[in-house]
Structure 1
């Protein structure tokens, strides 16, 4: 139960969420930077399926980021209540 958590436990949870957010943002940035780039063996065309897969992956990553940001806000509010 959340009310049973100590401020130190909440701070650790917040730190973990921040680390997850940083990693997810890095992944999203990598995907965005690679979007549309061809491999060395490519003839210059990207298959529609590849584009769809990249966009789906990016959308899923952004959804996870949104969820983590909401979780971070809840943890910050809980810490504030304990202070």
Structure 2
């Protein structure tokens, strides 16, 4: 895995989801991978979210990335 090597200081977890007709198959599906802790149910945690779509011969494919940051004792996100 390359994700642990590229995770900067202060990042608690990364979640990456790819969806669409992956590999040119007939039925679309979603593949997700995660490293570390990525909770979307906590309101006081800083989470960055990015979405990208691409149009291919097989249709539209999308990638979603969520980066969850660590918090200090006071509940604030750690900044670099």
TM-score range, shorter chain: under 0.3
Greater RCO, 1 or 2 (C-alpha within 8 Å, sep 6+): 1
More strand by percentage: 2
Larger radius of gyration: 1
TM-score computed with the length of structure 2 as normaliser: 0.27
More helix by percentage: 1
